Amino acid sequence: MDLYLDGITHSYGDTDVLRDVTLQIPQGMVVCLVGPSGCGKSTLLRFIGGLEQPGGGQVLQVGAPPANSLNPLTYVFQHFALLPWRTVEGNVSLVLEDHELPRERVQGIVADVLARTRLSDFRKALPKQLSGGMKQRVALARALAVNPAVMLMDEPLSALDSQTRELLMDDLVGLWTRQPFTAVYVTHNLVEAVRLGHRIVVLSRRPGRIREVVEVERPLGERGRGDPELERIQHHLWQAMRDEALAADQELVDA
């Protein structure tokens, strides 16, 4: 299933947030959204997920989701959103409980996604017993359990320290390499964008418009720290954003 954003425009009162955002998100591609603070990245993600409706334009789903997809669109949030009284497997199975699946199928799905996210040995652990990185792996496993057509990822690594962020980026690359998925990935971190994105969409300061779309040709599994090509792309992205990021930051300070 592909997504098409056609002329997305939105305002909150007198504040223009997004203007005429048109974008294709092809199946099997990780599309990263970057831009200055307040440019509408997370708002755009909510429109894609159907949590809000834009004032103008539309989000189109083209083609069918996978045959065994239980939710075409699912979120991975910054702050994990785990239930503290449920175990790892209980948090993952939660998203399956409204689908009236046979118990054996639920157990099989949970076992599969725990294995894919390297959580099998922690299935009986409670969230309070897990590190931040492990909690985010549980959130990823929960999203994968419904086999979504598109994962909507809202700064999923921003609450983690730098070392854990590196490990989770490796995990995401490994997950995609073994079984490609489609994702829209919002981030402020350009290292994450060039490491994980096939396509990087640069939004302008508010109202957010598409300034540039950068394609990263290097396969995900062949991108490492210190790669000159990735550093060149990262530098290019920062140069494209720098002045507007400073201006947006000053707007927030003045507000």
Mean pLDDT within 57-77: 90
**Within a domain: residue 206?**
yes
Q: Would you call 41 helix, strand, or coil by DSSP?
A: helix
Mean pLDDT within 13-25: 94
Range of the domain at 7: 1-65+186-255
**Within a domain: residue 107?**
no
User: Is the pLDDT at 67 greater than 90, yes or no?
Assistant: no
**Within a domain: residue 81?**
no
The CATH number of residue 16's host domain is 3.40.50.300
Model-level pTM? 0.91
User: Is the pLDDT at 27 greater than 60, yes or no?
Assistant: yes
Q: Would you call 56 helix, strand, or coil by DSSP?
A: strand
**Within a domain: residue 110?**
no
**Within a domain: residue 164?**
no
User: Is the pLDDT at 255 greater than 50, yes or no?
Assistant: no
Torsion of CA 229, 30, 38, 81, to 10 degrees: -130
More confident of the two residues 247 and 40: 40
> 216-244 in b/e burial notation, b at 16+ Cβ within 10 A?
beeebeebeeeeeebeebbebbeebbeeb
**Within a domain: residue 134?**
no
pLDDT at 250: 62
Q: Over the stretch 187-223, which tens digit does the pLDDT of each residue have?
A: 999 999 999 999 999 999 889 999 999 999 999 988 8
**Within a domain: residue 250?**
yes
